[in-house]
Chains A and B, each alone.
Chain A
Amino acid sequence: MIPASFEYHRPNDMAGVLSILEEHGDDARVMAGGHSLIPMMKLRMADVPHLIDLQDVGGLGGITVGDTITIGAMVTQSDIILHDALADAAPILREASLQIADPQVRYMGTVGGNVANGDPGNDMPGLMQCLDATFTVVGPNGERKIPARDFYEAAYMTGREDDEVMTAVSFAKPAGGHAYEKQKRKIGDYATAAAAVQIVKNGGTCASASIAMTNLSDTPVYSAAAGDALVGTSVDGDAIKAAVGAMLNDIDPVEDNRGPVAFKRHVAGVILARAIERAWSRA
């Protein structure tokens, strides 16, 4: 559990980060909270000869709440939980963050690291897809914006280039009811299945619904069809069943220590149904 030797860089601005990335290419990786990368290095599953710590780089923190909500990449899950204005504007973020790992990890783990790493077990990617967030990355050619729903290609493979750094996530202030429902084996575990749901209610019917699932494929799964199955309905039992059915067409879980595929698919359906019910009750 000891990493191979590496060079530690701690630049104090983004220009410094980008120049180190340019100089060392594949041999360099940036680190935010380090809670995904450091264990991989200790297991010697990740070889990072040049580690760039983002702690001293300015401009990556801060939470701005307005019609658009922007969260800096270095904002921690703990910061999110403690931010009351954010919790009022987008309560699903606090609900989800409280289900990530444990307090010690949440003090260190960042939004940017969580979404940029491309680990299908992470909770923020699915959440950001549910919120239709946009990721901002900066690279040698300047800033670029990538929709969360287009960002994830495969496990640890994303739309970010190796020489680019995630700087912020932003999304329109969500409307309606929300829920983040997660089943896990214990505190600190990745999800057996998790569902992020935002629903807008108009009169007695569903005006819009956004649904994303976590750890049920090699990427987070935004299921447009599941959301569509609810729109125009009164979100009754049949509608929920239709949404679950649509979601099951979109996920592709694999067997692991949490259980076999049949179990995961069943639980995914149960978790989504519960999330929809809770979100609808809040809409």
Chain B
Amino acid sequence: MKDEAVTREDRVASLKGMGCSRKRVEDARFTQGKGNYVDDIKLDGMLFGDFVRSPYAHAKITNIDTSAAMEVPGVLAVLTAADLAPLGLHWMPTLAGDKQMVLADGKVLFQGQEVAFVVAEDRYAAADGIEAVEVEYEELPVIVDPFEALQSDVVLRPDTVGEDGSPSDGAHGPRKHHNHIFTWECGDKDPTEQVIANAEVVAEESMYYHRTHPCPLETCGCVASMDKVNGKLTLWGTFQAPHAIRTVVSLISGIEEHNIRVISPDIGGGFGNKVGAYPGYVCSVVASIVTGKPVKWIEDRMDNLMTTAFARDYWMKGRISATKDGKITGLHCHVTADHGGFDACADPTKFPAGFMNICTGSYDIPTAFLEVDGVYTNKAPGGVSYRCSFRVTEAVYFIERMIEVLAIELDMDASELRKINFIKKEQFPYKAALGWEYDSGDYHTAWDKAMKAVDYDGLRAEQKQRIEDFKAGKTRKLLGIGLTHFTEIVGAGPVKNCDILGLGMFDSCEIRIHPTGSAIARLGTISQGQGHATTFAQILASEIGLPADSITIEEGDTDTAPYGLGTYGSRSTPVAGAATAMAGRKIRAKAQMIAAYLLEVHDDDVEFDVDRFVVKGAPEKFKTMKEIAFAAYNQAIPGVEPGLEAVSYYDPPNMTYPFGAYVCVMEIDVDTGVTDIRQFYALDDCGTRINPMIIEGQIHGGLTEALAVALGQEIAYDDMGNVKTGTLMDFFLPTAWEVPNYETDHTVTPSPHHPIGAKGVGESPHVGGVPCFSNAVHDAFRAFGLRQTNMPHDHWRIWRTANELGLHD
């Protein structure tokens, strides 16, 4: 039993547990084209459904004639709202407490809205059937501007007007206007106004965080299969929250939940786009019930960009006050939020503007007030968290821009201003003015490390010289130094304040140890590329002392996985990762009893050591976890049940607060508006690091999506509500060519309340990256008088900035 040649370090390494850059176990199948995505699912007799979509952004539907479509070879059925109405399925609830048309009920509210669902033998026949459906529209006035919507007599949603003609109450309280959805307030209104009124310095700025889209490589889709013999519905889909989908399907269809099996197979990226419920899911289920055959629905790229959930579209107006020497005293933020035709935000129910109230950022701001007004317009619904926790990118963009604007107002260096105002290490846990309690942080250490790494003073000296050279006509390029210090709020969330449709946002893990010392663990989350099968096995390896290579991780099948709220908002590691560790500790507790029995000592006389329990003071006496696993199945141990299994449902006591310090050095050609990222340095503190390689991959991906959003990616509409960016020709998705080299770095400040101290990382680089790229653009022009110019900073908008500042004269 002795293995003296094997050191303790060897035993630790062989587990490939936490801290190990273990290669991703998923990649073998993904890199060989052996993944199993929704569109790979093929069932006998499977039909294909697709939508007739509205060409208009706002129109009355006077007639739908499906007769010609029914004559198209291969077309079996055409569903309209009239067919769904008797089932009560022509509308469906949204995650935000609103309701949404499944198929156009008398009118359409955005271009691309689902009008009819053509079911055919294959997707080609469905496409021909769509062409043959004749819809008569009567155009209505289109509103694409939320400020206009709040003034307009045009009623977008008839259900927002009460019988007396006044606005009816919405899901989050009274409406100010019939096109108004909600007002959400946070913080101290009057004290904030007073602080700002009496302040030595006040900076005021408005900014628009444009509408964009998560654009996962795999679009949304599903396969619904109703087995009429056993009454069981199986629904495969691109679901970021399969259990929540099961519950929602049960609630709206009336099918008992035990008769619904939802399966999320491999998912090709989600980024928030696959959290909500879409009309395609409902129509596929209904079509399968009607036809008795499996029905597949898969979006094409234009469907995805034009109709499934967008992100952002926040008009933010801020005032920040400070003393003359730069100490911030107050912050006021008002947001006009454009939600499109339906409020289909995927936020915890009590947070209609998500966690926008993290907008005091990394700074010790004693007094603050936030007010968000949600508005209907003739645009697609959504408002999801594109690679961020709920509305956190908006919040961080807002505060990081306000800091820069305040620095201009104070004529102060923006790094210096941040350092003056960072929450100090000794202030944690820190109760922020807008309500959150930051669990931990060490911002000054991270910031100083970042400034040193990029030689910040050297960069500023170079920039000063560049400005002189530019003014002297020696160069046409400007140098921008973008700074950002972000604080995220992830890991939704504590059940006491976080739920979606009444479902508490806990998560879960169930572990079964097999007799030979390998294991399977199932979780309530679902990987969409994050590498859960790799990292959750690493958490368990460290917790239970079995090699990660001997642990299978399974997610996404609601018939087998424990209930959980899914993967988005960087919640998997903070919540399900915690559940995994806690379930592992239950395994370990039972293993301790078994080990003590086998070693013939008291339970308290053995202790865990990497992969075994040893007798205290006698390390040569031990039982490995592998031996203990076998004993669990072949020994009759008094007072101990056979088997070795555990389940944990984890309700986090608080959110986690990852943070980071980013610097972007950008060259800008003022004549063409072309930008070139010369350097990008990203320091992330996500607490305990489970797999450094995967963290680095996450940061590269998140920064690339940040670059996209900051420099060109948008969903743009014309005045008629036509989507101008419905294909990848115009919707900016960066390629390897556009992506700069990223330097990654880290500090480690473990979360004090998380079982392993981990905080989540997937979204940090996006949250911090967008303002960093944007601040670099702004900083380049600061010496020439620029305060604020809205994203996306594509060539022509940068050129316009240069032009307006007189740099082309």
Contact = CB atoms under 8 A, between A and B. Distances in A.
Interface of A: 1-2, 4-5, 44, 102, 183, 185-190, 192, 257-260, 262-263, 266-267, 270-271
Nearest to A3: B127
A183 B795 contact: yes
A189 B301 CA distance: 17
Contacts of A189: 729
Q: Dominant SS at the A interface?
A: loop
B724 A267 contact: no
Contact of A263 (B712, B730, B737, B799): B799
Contacts of B734: 186
Given A1-B302, A186-B735, A188-B735, A263 B796 contact: yes
A33 B617 CA distance: 76
Contacts of A270: 671-672
- Top 7 A-B residue pairs of the complex, sorted by shortest distance between their CB atoms: A259-B796, A2-B127, A1-B300, A187-B737, A263-B796, A270-B671, A257-B730
Contacts of A4: 127-128, 131
A190 B729 CA distance: 9
Nearest to B50: A2
B798 to A, nearest CB: 10
Interface string B268-312: 000000000000000000000000000000001110000000000
Contacts of B730: 257
Given A2-B127, A257-B730, A187 B735 contact: yes
A187 to B, nearest CB: 4
Nearest to A259: B796
B738 A5 contact: no
B784 interface: no
Nearest to B728: A188
B736 to A, nearest CB: 8
Contacts of B712: 185-186
Given A183-B674, A185-B732, A257 B725 contact: yes
Contact of B799 (A2, A102, A259): A259
Interface string B522-548: 000000000000000000000000000
Nearest to B730: A257
Contacts of B124: 2, 5
Nearest to B737: A187
A188 B729 CA distance: 8
Given A1-B301, A2-B124, A266-B799, A257 B716 contact: yes
B471 interface: no
B796 A258 contact: yes
Contact of B672 (A5, A183, A186, A257): A183
Given A185-B732, A187-B737, 17 more contacts: A1-B302, A4-B128, A5-B124, A183-B795, A185-B712, A186-B732, A186-B737, A186-B738, A257-B724, A259-B795, A259-B796, A260-B796, A262-B803, A263-B796, A266-B808, A267-B671, A267-B672
B794 interface: yes
A257 B301 CA distance: 18
Contacts of B725: 257
Of B672, B674, B803, chain A has the most CB atoms within 10 Å of the CB of B672
26 contacts: A1-B300, A1-B301, A2-B127, A4-B127, A4-B131, A102-B735, A183-B674, A185-B712, A185-B795, A186-B712, A186-B735, A186-B738, A187-B735, A187-B737, A187-B738, A189-B729, A192-B796, A257-B724, A258-B796, A259-B794, A259-B795, A259-B799, A262-B803, A266-B799, A267-B671, A267-B799
A253 B554 CA distance: 55
Interface in B82-105: none
B787 interface: no
A102 B737 CA distance: 10
A204 B141 CA distance: 64
Nearest to A193: B672
B123 interface: yes
B296 to A, nearest CB: 14
A268 B131 CA distance: 41
B800 interface: yes
Nearest to B122: A2
B735 A44 contact: no
A262 B738 CA distance: 25
A260 B800 CA distance: 10
Contacts of A185: 712, 732, 794-795
B293 to A, nearest CB: 21
Contacts of A258: 795-796
Interface in B161-178: none
Contacts of B800: 263
Contacts of B795: 183, 185, 192, 258-259, 263, 267
Interface in B435-469: none
Interface string B315-335: 000000000000000000000
Contacts of A102: 735
A66 to B, nearest CB: 35
Nearest to B802: A266
Interface in B658-699: 671-674
A277 to B, nearest CB: 13
